[in-house]
Amino acid sequence: MVLTSCYDPVEVYIQLFFGAYGNLLSDPFNFSVALTLKETTVLVFTGLSVAVAFRAGMFNIGSQGQLVVGALASALAVAAAIPLFPSGALGSVLLPATGLLVGALGGGAYGAIPGALKAYADANEVITTIMLNFVATLVAFVLVSQFFQAPGQAVQTVELPGYATFQSLLFGAGSDFSIVALAVGGLLVAAIYYLLEQTSAGYDFVTSGLQPEAAEYGGVDAERTVVASMALSGALAGVGGAVWVLMVAGRWQTGVPAFGFDGITVSILAANNPLGVFPAALLFGTLKSGSIAVQLSAGVPKQLVGVLRGLIVLFVAMPEFFRLLGRYVTPAERSARPATDGGRTLEPRRNGSRPVALERTEGDRTEPVGNNGAASGEKSDDRGEASDDRGGAGSDGEGSEEAAERNGGGRS
């Protein structure tokens, strides 16, 4: 019987690769490569955002909301600054830089909100960041539809001129990818790695995430560290939103892609290491861009590529799951496991239900064992000799007189 509902996995992976990169040998700067690098670039920022929060012991599930706020702030700031730089090379440098800076400030300020709630009100950051995602999306929709909507357009801001956005230098027009934006992402990867590994502020972040009690004992301001880590995480997500506006969309509009949620999977795959964020983002960018070709060429639903992404994260997270399980299973097994001494089993000798000593079993002979592995009989002999010595000292006349003098004059 022929199973017509199955797919050839080799063919699927071949189509996935060619859909993501095209023919690299004949045309290394083709549209497929640009699409893959476009997805990768935005995922670098959101992956870094989540990684910073996770390293600081905070679960930032709100990168999507911070990305939306940073994108809106960037679009409005660049649109407001265009009259100051109507054209020219100066505007093509300052306007994108302004958009990145304002996007970082907007995302950072929005990320500091759940950080302050966690630090000063002990609110669960998972709940607050998830809820603030909806708040950011809906508030941005209301603001644009009521105050900043482009005339005669849908719910979106005015379109930014080409010189105010990131231009494609290696790929043709319409590729929606800029090597400059990817370079900014690479610089931030190096900067965040240096911050976490080589600076005192990064040490405070990491220590607070690993051992918060020890960090507080060492003089770390826990509340300030929590707010700062969430603000930095939100700022990185805000830069990702600014890059999406300045490189991809050219304006803020509804239906912002879920780059923030994808950043969580990127960070998990990278083990929250900033240096691992870039290859992890490239992998997920490849899967996202290649899923379209898989559906068109191989007839495989692109949702199955999403299943593949989920399985990747699942298998990466399984070792941590087993370590977590071992914390609860290992102590019980260890207490039930008999002690050993040089390959010989040490069994407790019980008096009723209460263990009173350990016994060493060797061949047909069983002997009690003390704390240091010595036989209890030897310790008993030592205690007996000590008692004889004390008794001898007490029976001696000179010893009794000296003892009486030490005990306070006359008391024996």
Structure confidence at residue 360 (pLDDT): 54
pLDDT band at 310 (very low <50, low <70, confident <90, very high): confident
Structure token digits, residue 97: 């830089």
- Name the token pair of 173: 């027009």
Report which of residues 361 and 134 the model is more confident about: 134
pLDDT value at 216 more than 60? yes
Average pLDDT over every residue of 24-35: 85
Give the model's confidence band at 334: pLDDT under 50 very low, under 70 low, under 90 confident, else very high. Answer: low
CB 257 within 8 A of CB 64: no
- Say if residues 243 and 45 touch (Cβ distance below 8 Å): yes
> How many residues are listed for the chain in this entry?
412
Q: Which structural domains are found in the chain, ordered by start? A: 9-328 (1.10.3470), 341-406 (no CATH)
| Coil, strand or helix at 203 | helix
Distance CA 260, CA 33 (A): 22
User: Checking phi first, is residue 174 left (phi over 0); if not, alpha (psi -120 to 50) or beta?
Assistant: left
What average pLDDT does range 205-214 have in this prediction?
81
Please give the structure tokens belonging to residue 195: 């911050």
| Token pair listed for 132 | 């603030």
In whole numbers, what is the pLDDT of the chain averaged over residues?
81
In sequence order, the β-bridge partners of residue 87 are: none
pLDDT band at 221 (very low <50, low <70, confident <90, very high): confident
More confident residue, 107 or 255: 107
pLDDT of residue 374: 44
What percentage of the chain has pLDDT greater than the value 70? 78
Strand pairing partners for 156? 253
* 16-20, 196-200, 353-357: range with lowest mean pLDDT: 353-357
Mean pLDDT of all residues in 356-384? 50
Per-residue pLDDT, averaged over 264-292, amounts to 92
Lowest-confidence region among 198-202, 300-304, 373-377: 373-377
pLDDT digits (tens, 9 = 90+) for 109-160: 999 999 999 989 989 999 999 999 999 999 999 999 999 999 888 899 999 9
Given this model, what pLDDT does residue 4 score? 54
Q: 65-74, 262-271, 289-298: lowest mean pLDDT where?
A: 289-298
For residues 362 and 225, the model is more confident at 225
